[in-house]
Structure 1
Amino acid sequence: MWLSPPLSNSYANSGKKPDMISSNTQMSEVVEEHPSLIPVINRFGIRLGLGDKSVKAVCAEHQLDTDFVLTVINTFLNDEYFPERKLQTFHTSQIIDYLTKTNQYYLRFQLPNIERHLNSFISMSTPDNHTLALIGKFFSTFKEELTARIEADGKVWFPYCLSLSEQLTACPASGEELHLGSETHEEDTIEALLFDLKSIMIKHLSGEYNENLCYAVIFAISSLEKDIKQHNRIRYRILTPMVAAMEKLRK
């Protein structure tokens, strides 16, 4: 299905050209320079032990769409880069598969990692640190919100998106194109909670506490915060308007 994208493109309008990873770039060089990419490539089934193989060779080895993997990698590494036109050429199932694996990564690894470090940090801090209870409460709220959204994605949102796509593929409208508009959304609750949690720790900690554990918690929160921001860019600026366009076309 051919997609007719909106004219806006944040990358094109930014006036900046970040360094781009190409299909001929050695995957190991990219990961060496950006270790934060390890969980991203893991979602595609790519593990370390990359040798000197190019991105294209690694993708071929794992039967992956090189263009899609490159688009995700470059989007993750460059805040100014968001190729809406490129992302809209991929099938709905590709986008949902990546978002699903990202959700699973949050549940299996990032949430437990933050919780483990946070529990150790709280238990090793002095009782006179009055912000500990608030920090624990904020994390519990965040965990509940994220878990609930992931559950809704898996049971309701993603199946609905796939169903719409399958319906249009089975019964395509005669000659009609799928026009994507620019969707807006309110501030994401998940992002806001993570930001508040980090802000409380940075601004309001008191008493004695383990500085190394404190850093570990903040680093883990910041890593998840960046990941969720990139996740939400694809979620709100690609998948949501894609679904809205499919709904209009179906009527």
Structure 2
Amino acid sequence: MPLVYADMKLCDIILHEPTLIPVLNRFGITLGIGDKSIRSVCEENSLDTDFFLTILNTFINEEFFPENRLKTFCATQIVDYLTKTNIYYECFQLPNIERHFNSLIQYSGTSGNNLELIHQFFLKVKNELLSRIEHDRAVWFPEIKLLSEKIGNQRPDGIKLPTKGSYDEQNSLEEKLHDLTSLFVMHLSGTIDPNLCYGVIFAIYTLEKDIKQHNRIRNRILLPMNEAMKRGKNDN
């Protein structure tokens, strides 16, 4: 999809890319927006239009990732967005996959299929994501906000991209969600309900896509911002 701009109608963007709806919800934007422009919707909701556009374009276009642009926003602004994203994972997306999975198991029966084994793998991925969310909530995000307050919420200098190895562990969630989908596509056995199966796969795919965008902001912006603030604090 082409890049999104402030004068474009938000309804047209949503109709072209419905997977944006959860992202909009994190900004407090619900459906029923009429034919208003993105700028108008942002003004009505007291949102930073530039930040909103950056997040939308980052989510829609995998090749779009304006590191220099994102660095112009303060760390707490990014933390607040990622906090809302984590809440959405915990309260909506994970329970949605669980509901679909339980229905699939219930209506497909247990004879000759390996749904329970695949479900166990999902539960491991779910627990890994919930563990990361709890660490964000209890440790990492409060640390970033505290550092930001100490430097007066200024944008730190000397932000450098982390080496790939420093965020491989976080990206393992993307890989495991992809592996989970692969289990359905390549190794599913027995008689199952095809429509319910599609519902599970689509819900997992939606979460995987969201996690990819989430991780790019975490790893390529917030992580180096945090390191730069730590260096600045120590230099002072």
Q: Does 1:41 align with 2:24?
A: yes
Residues 1:232 and 2:215 are matched in the alignment: yes
| Residues 1:242 and 2:225 aligned together | yes
1:75 Cα deviation from its structure 2 partner = 0.4
Going from structure 1 to structure 2, the CA distance change for 1:119 and 1:92 (only over 3 Å counts) comes to same
- Deviation of residue 33 (structure 1)? 1.0
**Partner secondary structure for residue 169 of structure 1:** coil
Q: Does 1:191 align with 2:170?
A: no
Q: Which has the higher helix share?
A: 2
**Structure 1 CA distance for aligned equivalents of residues 16 and 176 of structure 2:** 30
Partner of 1:181: 160
**Structure 1 residue 103: Cα displacement:** 0.4
* AA aligned opposite 2:90: L
Q: Shift of residue 177 of structure 1?
A: 6.0
Q: How far off its partner does 1:51 sit?
A: 1.1
**What is the identity, as a one-letter code, of the residue corresponding to 2:208?**
E
Change (3 A) 1:112 1:134: same
CA contact (8 A) 2:9 2:37 kept: yes
Instruction: Determine the C-alpha separation between the residues in 1 that align with 2:5 and 2:221.
Output: 22
CA distance in 2, matches of 1:197, 1:248: 39
CA distance in 1, matches of 2:135, 2:217: 17
Maintained 8 Å contact 1:37/1:73: yes
Q: Which whole-Å deviations, capped at 9, do the CAs of 1:30-56 have from their partners, x for residues lacking one?
A: 111111111111100011111121100
Identity %: 51
Query: Which residue of 2 is the match for residue 138 of structure 1?
Result: 121
Letter matched to residue 159 of structure 1: P
Report Cα offsets for 1:196-233 as digits up to 9, x if no partner: 21111111111110000010000000000000000000
Deviations 1:6-37 (A, max 9, x none): xxxxxxxxxxxx61111100111111111111
Q: Cα deviations across residues 159-197 of structure 1 (Å, max 9, x unaligned)?
A: 001111111117x8xxx9611112122142322221121
Does the Cα contact within 8 Å between 1:126 and 1:207 map onto a contact in 2?
A: no
- TM normalised by structure 1 equals 0.88
| Mapped contact 2:156–2:229 kept (Cα < 8 A) | no
Q: How does 1:3-18 map to 2 (within 5 A)?
A: none
- In the alignment, does 2:61 pair up with 1:103? no
Unmatched runs of 5 consecutive residues or more in structure 1: 1-17
User: What is the letter of the counterpart of residue 157 of structure 2?
Assistant: L
Contact 2:161 2:221 in 1 (8 A): no
* Secondary structure at 2:168 match in 1: coil
* Correspondence 1:129 to 2:108: no
Read off the aligned partner of 1:250 and give its amino acid letter.
Answer: K
| Deviating more after overlay: 220-229 vs 28-37 | 28-37
* Structure 2: unaligned runs, 5 residues or longer: none
Counterpart contact for 2:113–2:191, Cα < 8 Å: no
Q: Which residue number in structure 1 is paired with residue 147 of structure 2?
A: 164
- Judge conservation of contact 1:129–1:205 (CA < 8 Å) in 2: no
Give the match's secondary structure for 1:21. coil
Please identify runs of 4+ aligned residues in structure 1 that moved more than 6 A: none
1:112 aligns with 2:88: no
Q: 1:200 aligns to what?
A: 183
**What is the DSSP-based 3-state SS (H/G/I as helix, E as strand, rest coil) of the residue aligned with 2:108?**
coil
Shift of 1:125: 2.1
TM superposition score normalised by structure 2: 0.93
Query: How many matched pairs?
Result: 230
2:193 maps to which residue?
Answer: 210
